[in-house]
Amino acid sequence: MRWIVSLSIVLAACGGTPIPTHNGYKPKEAKPWMKAKVLKLDDKLEAKTDGSVSYPDMRRARWYEITLPSNGQLTVSVEITPPGDAVNDDFDLGMEVLDPTSHVISKSDLEDGDAHELTKKKTLVDLLPGKYLIHLYLQSRMDTADFVLHASFKTTAAAEAKSDFPAQVPFVPALALVPLQDDTPRNYKPPTPNKPVQVSHVGHRPPPPPPPAPVATVTARIIGIQVVSGGTQLTLGRGTASGASNGMKGKINGVAGGFEIGNCNERTCSATVSATPDQIKNSNGTVTLSGP
């Protein structure tokens, strides 16, 4: 015990710097990440800040919070200035990036390939919107450093959600066994289906039948008259009766009796009537046709 005290006195007399025995944090800072400094992105979606860290002064680490507004890419870089009279040849300022669930998604310290570098840069792609943490920390008890931190963000399209089909599809439950042979009893008879009950409308009149559909009529002009055996043959122009067809019933306006037309083609239809040519000429030269 006396030897340890004497050694401490000798070191103090020689001007030696004692190695800190604390963990580099102030006692009240049990959770320093809860008080992270907020970095706000400017109009160019960039942010910049500077600071210093000192393990002996219980300022071992600095925490920063940055909020990403959408899906995108975050680039974080730090420029490090170590102390000019550093006694630790293994000096390194570590850096971590944590996602909104507090999981480390990027890291750089003495265990990584860019250890001892005075400029460190990390680019993280396909990030979701939310709050991310940047952690800068010293790793040796005698280290101090100044730094400048840069952050930039680029918006990208939302990443397509990957399907885990069929991982979430449940297995088909055990099905009932079906015998290979029909096991229906020989004397089995299927039940007779119930017959529909006839409802009697006693004291009520049945509903009237629907009215007949109206018969479409068209008007045709007589364009030819010829006396033939059994009457007078008429030639009707279809240009004035586009709906005329074989079998339609016709009637001359002002002349009693009717007739049926036939021999319809693209231009004319014909019909034989019992009226005389004089009776036909005294009409207005038109006939009315109706459906068969």
- Confidence (pLDDT) at 201: 55
Measured between alpha carbons, how far is 145 from 81 in angstroms, rounded to an integer?
6
pTM of model > 0.85: no
Measured between alpha carbons, how far is 114 from 78 in angstroms, rounded to an integer?
12
- Confidence (pLDDT) at 12: 42
Would you say 50 and 115 are in contact if contact means Cβ atoms under 8 Å apart? no
Q: What one-character DSSP code corresponds to residue 22?
A: S
Measured between alpha carbons, how far is 236 from 272 in angstroms, rounded to an integer?
11
Query: Across the 292 residues of the chain, what is the mean pLDDT of every consecutive 10-residue run?
Result: 38 60 79 90 95 90 94 95 71 93 92 89 94 93 92 81 77 82 82 73 68 72 82 77 77 82 84 83 79 70
Handedness of CA 143, 148, 151, 152 (dihedral sign): negative
- Confidence (pLDDT) at 125: 93
